[in-house]
Structure 1
């Protein structure tokens, strides 16, 4: 194989860091125009299709590639900061880029003055932690009538979007699930689905019963939950015999159903012998096991698991859950129950809420929140409508940002907008400095760069 050579750049004269800074500055200037409710659009060229018109900092950030390798390294560094913010908060990518640019610019000044970069970084970190604590003290819980305003501001002062998101949370509750999908019309619409819905579709199109919308639909359906891969069709003999004898539809939710077992199910379904559909269990690993338990609780069934001493061959009707209606589409499944398991569901939700309170990982909290929403029995779906594909993508990005900002506001509260909170934080920096260890940590007024956000052109 050909050897891969790397360029080496030494920073004795600060030329390397100046190049990195040039890349960061370019990103901030480009992404910065999208900031705030009056942010402007950016047109992105597309080599293999029509151009994209976007108002989303993260999308712009992904498209930037520079010819100079050092400047492009600066782009990658600041891209990481923006992506991290977006992963945690779901919004705020542009703000984090502008703040990062200011921190780097001020940091370069004190570096040029001969300050110790390790101490500078340590001082910035400790000051930032103190400012986050101050920001939490400034925040307050969002009231119901303010949800529309928060969403609208994040969507570029689009109050139609803000009101739709507010209505969605009003109908499913603050802990409910709100999803965004591509619509089939030219206008946005809101649909609320009662029941548990998750993103898993049928394993074979031969399970379809309603060919008009390509879905498998059953009423008064029994549900078999299996926490393993089903490979041998003989394992299903007992439960399928019950379904045939007592004439009830059967939905099988398993880790997977392999070829021979799947072929047997589809063959018997097509012959009219049994009403059946099979899907994969939602999620993976430990989350998959927990999701199966959630479905068992809401349907009143029992999960067939080897570690619990249950074998699939022994599973009879007593293991099955019940649903008043089941709709299985290509990519999603909806389970509607009769409410008879409400008390058990409430206990399960309370248990998961306790896990949310004890969890420190944002991703884990998000997963737990989705489980609570599914168990709560209502999901709001915002269908995004547009005239063209380009318009659809732009509108969907705006609505996603608005939804993420609203969810963050519900979870952590709100502060005064327009950069005012950041301005007030900047006035506390001198007090915070007094708690730092040495002159090099205290010297940089780097975090006064928060003012940059307020006066960003």
Structure 2
């Protein structure tokens, strides 16, 4: 977030500080949907129905301003929202509000001659102190009731979403894979897949009923049915094939080999930096251990389902973060409680002091918006 100030200096040198304030105009709308009582935003799309959401990163991505320099500011804020979404999965609106406050105060001080690099160093000094203090304030989330409460608050007070997320975590474990998909009914549903599921079914329904075609062979490889040995087969209790997917249930594989494979996948998870690879590896890990939970979001229209899916995804990410690192007071109160930690900081110069002091002032922003 602090880099927003220093990254905007190129624009300052060319067009003056007044030009930089223009890039802040797109931040103003974020106050509209901040907090649990925040309202939704309607986003026009080039095709299909409009999108209704209050997710900060979704709104940021949808902003494309005609003014070149305003759009530069919009892209910087998109970076803030995207990075927050990738790291935490939620809190994108709060991050955007804080980015605006830092940029606004920073531009004002820079216009009076302050050094932007030193201001950023002061801000980062405050960031480190606040992170340490927030970790001290955090309380662990352990019971299903607490998990449901966290999910409910993140989902705008929707008790049904809170309960279904709590149930999913209880059934697949805290490290299990939970995916969110469109449902086919008016109600939300939870499906637990215990075993292996492939998103491929039979090519044609006629294959299910035909008594012919029981032939195995691959001429190009010179393979015949006689080449297959008993040890080539695995053992399962049940296989279900539909037109959409294939499920292998009650697997009877070697436990030691399964554990070995789980360790290999965990090592791959630690080494990869690709979010896509992490997602797929986590799915494979869950299929080998606790299974996969699928939250099917129902509704009366695509607009309703998509809006609800955004809230379910945010609630799920917030709940995972809460389980992993604990919870703190909401509504900006936790940030206010960090203020005493800033009093002990010793900046190297006056410009760094401005950075730490500005960080002190912006703690009021989330609290005021939450009132």
Q: TM-score, normalised by structure 1?
A: 0.69
1:441 corresponds to 2:352: yes
Larger Rg: 1
Shift of 1:316: 5.2
Shift of 1:123: 2.1
Contact 1:41 1:54 in 2 (8 A): yes
Where do residues 2-401 of structure 1 align in structure 2 (5 Å cutoff)? 11-12=12-13, 15=16, 17-26=17-26, 28-144=27-143, 145-197=145-197, 200-201=199-200, 205-206=203-204, 209=207, 233-234=218-219, 237-238=222-223, 241-242=225-226, 317-327=230-240, 333-349=246-262, 352=265, 363=275, 368-401=281-314
Contact 1:88 1:362 in 2 (8 A): no
Q: State how many pairs are aligned.
A: 350
Contact 2:35 2:369 in 1 (8 A): no
Over residues 111-133 of structure 1, what are the superposed CA-to-partner deviations in whole Å (9 max), with x where a residue is unaligned?
12211111112222232123222
User: What is the alpha-carbon root mean square deviation over aligned residues?
Assistant: 3.0
Distance 2:261 2:61 in 1: 40
Contact 2:178 2:295 in 1 (8 A): yes
Counterparts in 2 of 1:347 and 1:106: CA distance versus 1, 3 Å: same
Over residues 23-75 of structure 1, what are the superposed CA-to-partner deviations in whole Å (9 max), with x where a residue is unaligned?
3332x222332222111111222343333322222222222111211011101
Distance 1:182 1:208 in 2: 29
Structure 2: where are the runs of 5+ without partners? 1-9, 210-216
Counterparts in 2 of 1:408 and 1:209: CA distance versus 1, 3 Å: farther
Distance 1:374 1:208 in 2: 30
Q: Which residue number corresponds to residue 364 of structure 2?
A: 451
Answer 1 or 2: which has greater helix percent: 2
Contact 2:204 2:243 in 1 (8 A): no
User: What secondary structure does 2:162 align onto?
Assistant: helix
User: What secondary structure does 2:12 align onto?
Assistant: coil
Structure 1: where are the runs of 5+ without partners? 1-8, 212-231, 243-313
Contact 2:22 2:69 in 1 (8 A): no
4+ long deviations beyond 6 Å: none
Contact 2:331 2:366 in 1 (8 A): no
Distance 1:36 1:120 in 2: 29
